[in-house]
Every structure is written in structure tokens, then in C-alpha cells.
Amino acid sequence: MQTALLKSALDSATETEEMLVDSGSLESVARLFAEHFPGRAAVIVAASDTWTAAGSRVEKAFRSLGIRCEKPVVFAIPPFLHGDYDHIAELRDGFAAHDAIPIAVGGGTINDIVKRASSEAGRRYICVATAASVDGYTSSGAAILKDGFKQTLACAAPIFVVADPDVLAAAPAYLTSSGYGDLASKLVAGSDWIVADAVGSDPINAYAFRLTQEELRTRLSGPEKAAAGDPEAIMGLFEGLAMTGFSMQFLKSSRPVSGCEHLFSHVWEMEDLYFEGRPVTHGHKVAIGTLAATALSEVLLRRGFADIDPAASAGGLPSSEARAREVVDAFKGSPAARGAVDAALKVATAKLDPKAAIVHLERAKDRWTEVSGRVAAQLEPYAELREAFRKAGCPTKPEDIGLNREYAIRTAFRAQMIRDRYTVLDLMYEARILDECVGAVIADGTYLR
């Protein structure tokens, strides 16, 4: 049953007209399609596992209503499907052979590549979600690896989102725990937005912030129930993820739901991180990024800002040439593609602005008592967050996703370089204390262990 806030989110959506979450909803996709696309054909896009879970039933429902279906596009698994641009180009070129409306049946990767391919083909699409694993089902934009760089490509959200609770509950447990990690990351996304707002970099949009944060802790309660496959808990998780996607759709930006914790994840996605023969899911990388970001934030809160001299700190920022060398050194030895390094060079040097840094640091110092209090209230204490992740089946230390602990923590330097979005990492960098805070997390006996 939708909450009032979720209904408000759907009502405010600029692209998604309906979200149908109910037992038997897979059969209802055909009815919705016939009402909104009379006379058009459909083309289902799925992976081999999601075709078995839901795609074949969707196709059967379409054929039972006499709706013409093009040959389904079913990606074989294995090999594992990645959200890279080559798949988008493949789909887009295939769509050129017909005028069918795409139906994405699957998780986050299927949804993202169909979303962008549909946009490039000039068509709307329908999303049939098969796991409570990501927040991207209802969002505008698709997170795609293009030219070696993880980026969000503009494209419209689905016109309909459909999910059957029974299908969501039957999804592999690691996908549900991935969704929990992705949803929990909004705690850090919120604290980073508080920081960005306080320093004057990115004012908070009250409605988008409310959509993401108001019911967040309720949706995150009872992680052990979601891990056990409890349908009600999984539905709460799915609706929480949908809510955050709607906040992106409303603002046409991922700012409400993505802070530096996602930047950690993006770096590892560009490194094509595998563990035990399987690509690490987005939500599991984000979970470790969320723990790392929480640890760094707690170190900063304990350290304080009283000794920071804004003018001296900003004056100590490197030249563009020296900053470029920092980027090259930070990515040295990283398996990230050359395209990622080139993009980081552009971003990191473009946002190097000593004058802006002075303003940011002066505002942070003047308001530090208020800002630090708001950040502390927004974040879940590290120990409690780690325990919730353990109960949810999420990774709780870097080794759980195939990373060396120190390497994972030092990812903070690269994470700060890859997006023009102000986070606590930028505040530390401009204050010239990022090295100090990273070192404190590494030296700590509890963080990311």
C-alpha cells in the first residue's frame, strides 16, 4: 500500500505516469500497454535469468491480448551483463528495424541500458522490475560506463513501472542486500547535501530532500527481515528505492540520492571489480563506499574545524599543473581505463578554484557548530550502520568485495576527483586535511574491519 509521500512522489513525477506494484501485476502490463500504445508492437528486453523470472510471463500476457511482439532481446548470462555503452548502441540499432515499444524486464543494468537506448531511439519504455536492488527504476538518467568513465547519461524515466511482490521476494538474496546498500547510501547523500548547502555550493531543494529522507529510516528498519525474504520488508525496500528515484526524476539530478559514497563505487565500477568470479553489484560497492564515507565524516566531526584558516588553506591548493600530477599519481596502478583518467583530469582541474574554496571554508567555519550537528543527526553511527549491513547480508569490509582495506579507504582521493559535485571530500580537500582524515580512518582499529 502506497504511503502518502510515495503517492505525492508519483503525482509530482514528470515522466512516470503509473507505478503498479501488486501480485499478478505482470499480466497487467499488457493491459496498460494496450491502453497507452494502441496498435503498437512491443519488444521485451531481458537477461536470461530475468526472462525466466518474469519475461516469459509478460510475453504470454501480451500475446493473449493479441498484441504483436517483436522477437525478444535476451542477454545470455553468463557472461555477466554490464551497464556499458556498447549494449546501448546494440539495442538502439536493433530498435531501428521496427517501431516497437521496449519493455525492460530485469534489474538495474537492464533498466539502464533500455532506458538510454529507448531515449536514443526516440521512444518511451516500460520497466518491469524483478528485484528490489537499485534506485534507478524510477529515475531520469542512466548510470553507464562510456569510454571507460562511469557517468549518468540523460534520458527519460519509464512511462510505467511494474513489479510483482512475489517476483521481488524470489530474487536472489544478494540482489535484495544490494538494494539495501543502495538505499542506506542516502544517509550519506543527505549529509553531503547538507554540507554543500551550508558552504553555498548546492542549495538543498526541500521537496527532493524530503522525498529521499522522510521515510528513509523506516524503510531501512528490519534489515534481517529483508534478508530472510520477507515479502513485506522487501516491498518496503522496493518502495523506498522507488521514492529516491522519483526525487531524481523531480529534480532532474542525482544530487538528492548520491554523495561521495557513490563516488567510491563509481571508481570501483570503472575498475571492473569482481569477487569470487562474479562482478560486485552496484549496491554492494555502494555499501562499502557508505561505510567509508561515514567513517571519514565521523573523523571530521571529531577533529573539528576550529583550526582551519580559510585563506591559508585555499592558498595551499595546487596549481592546475600540480593538480594534474595529483590525478595521474592517484590513478597510477589503478585498473581503471585510460578514459577514466582523462575524464578525471578534466573534472579535477576544472573545479580547482581557490576563490570559491575560501568562500566555502569561511562559511563552513562560521557555521560549523550548526553544520556538524546536522551532519551527525543525518548519519547513522558507524557501528550501527555496519550492524544493519551485516543483518541485511551486505558486505561490511572491503575484503568482502575483493578489495584491500587500505586501497579501499584511499579511494577517497580518486573519488574526490571524478565528479563536479560538492561533498565532504571536497570540504576536506579544500581545507587541506583530506590526507589527515584518510590516515585517521586507516589507523583506526574499527573502521572497515
Mean pLDDT (whole number) for 402-420:
97
Could you tell me if residue 98 is inside a domain? yes
Choose among 448, 372, 379: nearest CA to 220.
379
What is residue 147's predicted lDDT score, i.e. its pLDDT?
87
Could you tell me if residue 248 is inside a domain? no
CA angle 377, 381, 387 (to 5 degrees): 140
Q: In which element (H, E) is residue 104 found?
A: strand 101-106
DSSP string, 127-144: EEE-SS--SGGG-SSEEE
Could you tell me if residue 210 is inside a domain? no
Domain boundary among 145, 170, 195: 170
Question: Residues of the chain with pLDDT > 90: what percent?
Answer: 95
What is this structure's pTM? 0.96
What is residue 1's predicted lDDT score, i.e. its pLDDT?
55
Residue ranges making up the domain that contains 92: 4-170
Domain co-membership, 183 together with 108: no
DSSP category for residue 381 = P
Could you tell me if residue 226 is inside a domain? no
Domain co-membership, 287 together with 383: yes
pLDDT tens readout for residues 274-323 = 999 999 999 999 999 999 999 999 999 999 999 999 999 999 999 999 99
Choose among 272, 266, 328, 318: nearest CA to 293.
266
Q: In which element (H, E) is residue 105 found?
A: strand 101-106
Mean pLDDT (whole number) for 71-100:
95
Domain co-membership, 199 together with 130: no
**Positive or negative torsion for Cα 169, 173, 174, 177:** positive
What is residue 2's predicted lDDT score, i.e. its pLDDT?
73
In this predicted structure, the answer to whether residue 67 has a pLDDT above a threshold of 80 is yes
- Site of grid cell 544478494: 174
User: 180 falls in which pLDDT band (50, 70, 90)?
Assistant: very high
Phi, psi of 112 (to 5 degrees): -65, -45
**Positive or negative torsion for Cα 183, 187, 190, 196:** negative
Domain co-membership, 274 together with 335: yes
Q: ω into residue 102 within 30 of 0, thus cis?
A: no
Domain co-membership, 91 together with 189: no
pLDDT tens readout for residues 209-247 = 999 999 999 999 999 999 999 999 999 999 999 999 999
Could you tell me if residue 449 is inside a domain? no
pLDDT tens readout for residues 330-357 = 999 899 888 889 999 999 999 999 999 9
What's the structural domain count of the chain?
Answer: 2
Domain co-membership, 300 together with 329: yes
Domain co-membership, 80 together with 198: no
| DSSP SS3 for 368 | helix
Domain co-membership, 270 together with 137: no
In this predicted structure, the answer to whether residue 199 has a pLDDT above a threshold of 60 is yes
What is residue 338's predicted lDDT score, i.e. its pLDDT?
87
**Positive or negative torsion for Cα 351, 325, 401, 145:** positive
Burial bucket for residue 207 (CB in 10 Å: 0-12, 13-18, 19+): middle
In this predicted structure, the answer to whether residue 125 has a pLDDT above a threshold of 70 is yes
Domain co-membership, 113 together with 16: yes
In this predicted structure, the answer to whether residue 86 has a pLDDT above a threshold of 80 is yes
What is residue 182's predicted lDDT score, i.e. its pLDDT?
98
HSE (CB half, 13 Å, CA atoms) of 348? 29
Choose among 357, 362, 343: nearest CA to 418.
343
Could you tell me if residue 249 is inside a domain? no
Could you tell me if residue 239 is inside a domain? no
Mean pLDDT (whole number) for 439-446:
98
* CATH number of the domain enclosing 106: 3.40.50.1970
Domain boundary among 147, 170, 193: 170
Domain boundary among 170, 196, 229: 170
Domain co-membership, 372 together with 263: yes
**Cβ–Cβ < 8 Å for 391, 168:** no
**Residue 351, number of CB atoms within 10 A of its CB:** 20
Could you tell me if residue 215 is inside a domain? no
- Our CA dihedral for 109, 111, 112, 113, rounded to 10 degrees, sits at 80
Domain co-membership, 29 together with 121: yes
pLDDT tens readout for residues 35-46 = 999 999 999 999
What is residue 79's predicted lDDT score, i.e. its pLDDT?
87
**Residue 147, number of CB atoms within 10 A of its CB:** 13
Whole-number Å distance between alpha carbons of 212 and 257: 7
Query: What average pLDDT does the structure give for the chain?
Result: 96
What is residue 349's predicted lDDT score, i.e. its pLDDT?
96
Domain co-membership, 262 together with 323: yes
What is residue 137's predicted lDDT score, i.e. its pLDDT?
97
